[in-house]
Amino acid sequence: MDNDSDSYPAPYGRACSNCSQSKCKCIYSKSGGRCQRCRRLNKECRQPAVHRRQSTRKQPGSKAARLEEKLEDLVSLLRAGVQPPGANPINLLLGQFGQPGDLPASQTALSPPDSLDAALGNAARNVYAVPSSSSDANTPDVGGHTAVMPFSSPSEPTVLQAEEYLTMFQNQLLPYFPCVYIQPGISAQQLRRDRPFTWLCIMAVTCRSAVQRRALYQKIKDITAQQMVHNSLNTDIDILLGLLIYLGWSNQQVYNKANIHVFTQLTTAAVYELGIQNPSARPRMMALCVHHEGEDEPATSQGGQTMEERRAVVACFLVTSIISSFIRKTDPLRWTPFMDECLQVLEEQQECLNDEILVHQVRLQMITDKLDLGPYHGGLASTPDPIQAPPSFYLHSMHARLRKIQPSMPPNSLGYKIVLLHHHYTSLTLHESALSNASIMSKNLNFQQLEYLYGCLEATKSWFNLFLTIPPAEYTGFPFSIFAQMVHNLVVLYQLSVFEDPAWDVNTVRQSANVLSILSTVIESMSQVASLAGLEGESDSDIFSRVAKMYQSVLMGWEEKMGPESLPLSSMQSTQSLPEPLDSMPFNFPMVGDNDWLSDMLNSITQSN
């Protein structure tokens, strides 16, 4: 094969007939003769009989002008497909990635001019107008254009499915992690046009089909790589909101690794790119910078001034802090004074009830974040500094802050339960942070340490008493945070049930909150979610069935440790069908820090088949 310097690609529309029919790149040799492919296949290299009519327009001299011509051609194609002008580039990517496997991985990053021309054709083929028979077809959108939805791939939901998924997201999922506000009356088609990536992530976390969910999540990864890596200047609020939704419900990816660490950093990078965590900060001029900001350049508006941006930045702190405190392998978004202002504005100028839920969640998580649990961060009890104040000093201050966070919502409302779950979990982390591994293993507990242990027991008991009042049909809204809290509470309650110390009465603990009975109830509830919610797929293709199966193994391991007398009768009758028990595992305090199997449990949820 000729060297690259001795060959050149055929100009656009000048490929030979064989390469054109095979849709292959036509490479000519500078010395003349047949193209490389025809020479290799020993075929006659002929020019096509009909050539594309050459444009009579004057060739633009600048690169910007040539790009404008490309965009004009793109608008013409999209208008022919009833697509509104000025289409969002993510909408084009949604169409391009609509056919899984149509394009090789090497062509996912568009490189002008050849790949761009191919993408224009794909976009034109993959855009379809909403059928007029649909009840939503006559609904005018915000811009006055006919809304469109791509239907070229089985992974794309239909119009009715998209509306159903959006309603489900607003009512069942969003209250648990209110990272975005969708105005009442906004249709899925309007959201698809205005916030295409956010729309895609909503469809992925709400769809009932496991096959469809897998394709949508893969599409999310492809678009994220395209927009944040290949086109690094295309980060906008739509990308950030979509990433927050992806991270918030990343626990649903039981068939494929969620790449939580990578997406956590990408989400944080999107916040920094938008500058909404500290809008007043200006980049310092560096002498070696390639690009300097000129005085004649138009001033850009500072980010973080809208309610949408304020909500997004504090939600980013919330989800990254929760992931950091549970997995302990990444840092959360750093809190800034401007984010205090954002929290206050959200509290005083609430656009919806979910804003109050978000404010309470963030304030509670700020307490947990200050504790810095785990050996990765170093907790209060693990600090070797001899001048450190006793844990009771910190607990008093933290508990005072905790008592001030009281929701004003109706006690039986879903929002009240969500905030109260976080409240109980924060109380658990407060008491747990004061327990050091050395003091617990010394077999010489004092009254203060017993009080901390009892505080852990009361917090876990209160958490499960509230959690078990939620019907299994509503479990589909659970984000990553609820699953993380559930795992943590189960482990703490088990450790309290088997902790041996003369001053600690395990029988009283088991009578107060029987961890085996609670775990059996959780397994039973998780097993019902798929049928109650109408989830489609194999028996273990959803997070709830996978968790139920995994917890059955945990139950057998704990039963072996605690003895059959601690197992409720209903669970003893069903143990014959349970899988083999887990291997013996260390359960030393601190309750999360020394338990590496917690990370293994999380990995088993997101591990690929």
Q: Kindly report the CA angle at 256 between 251 and 259, in degrees rounded to 5?
A: 70
Paired tokens of 457? 């027991």
Its pTM surpasses 0.85: no
Q: What is residue 595's predicted lDDT score, i.e. its pLDDT?
A: 33
Paired tokens of 406? 């009281």
Paired tokens of 61? 């001299």
- The whole-angstrom separation of Cα 90 and Cα 378 is 41
Task: Decide: residue 451, CB within 10 A, 0-12 exposed, 13-18 middle, 19+ buried.
Answer: middle
Q: What is residue 4's predicted lDDT score, i.e. its pLDDT?
A: 54
Q: Which pairs count as long-range contacts for 138-145, CB under 8 Å and 24+ apart, including other chains?
A: 139/187, 139/189, 141/187, 141/189, 141/190, 141/193, 142/190, 142/194, 143/84, 143/193, 145/84, 145/193
- In the chain (609 residues long), the average pLDDT of successive 10-residue segments reads 68 84 85 86 79 51 71 64 51 52 37 37 35 37 36 73 96 96 94 95 93 90 87 82 94 68 91 88 51 44 77 97 84 92 94 94 92 48 49 76 84 90 94 67 74 92 96 94 93 90 88 94 94 82 86 89 61 37 33 37 38
Cβ proximity of 488 and 460 under 8 Å: no
- The whole-angstrom separation of Cα 341 and Cα 347 is 10
Packing angle of the helix pair 391-404, 414-433 (nearest 10 deg): 170
Q: What is residue 59's predicted lDDT score, i.e. its pLDDT?
A: 53
Packing angle of the helix pair 480-498, 307-327 (nearest 10 deg): 30
Cα 130 to Cα 153, 187, 344, 435: the distances in Å are 15, 13, 42, 60
Cβ proximity of 589 and 547 under 8 Å: no
Q: What is residue 53's predicted lDDT score, i.e. its pLDDT?
A: 53
Q: E-assigned strands of 91-170?
A: none
- The whole-angstrom separation of Cα 27 and Cα 68 is 28
Alpha-carbon torsion, ordered 287, 293, 294, 298, to 10 deg: -170
Cβ proximity of 247 and 264 under 8 Å: yes
Q: What is residue 464's predicted lDDT score, i.e. its pLDDT?
A: 97
- The whole-angstrom separation of Cα 343 and Cα 264 is 21
Q: Kindly report the CA angle at 546 between 540 and 548, in degrees rounded to 5?
A: 120
Tokens 């910078």 map to which residue? 289
Using alpha carbons, select from 95, 222, 214, 212 the residue that is nearest to residue 154. Answer: 212
Tell me phi and psi for residue 350, to 5 degrees.
-65, 130
The residues spanned by each domain of the chain are 1-48, 385-606
- Cβ neighbors of 318 (< 8 A, separation 6 or more) are 177, 179, 358, 361, 362, 365
Q: What is residue 514's predicted lDDT score, i.e. its pLDDT?
A: 94
- The whole-angstrom separation of Cα 421 and Cα 456 is 14
What single letter denotes the amino acid at residue 400? A
Packing angle of the helix pair 414-433, 447-467 (nearest 10 deg): 160
Cβ proximity of 496 and 461 under 8 Å: no
Q: What is residue 402's predicted lDDT score, i.e. its pLDDT?
A: 87
The 10 Å CB-count burial string (b at 16+, else e) for 43-62 is eebeeeeeeeeeeeeeeeee
Three-state secondary structure string covering 356-378: HHHHHHHHHHHHHHHHCCCCCCC
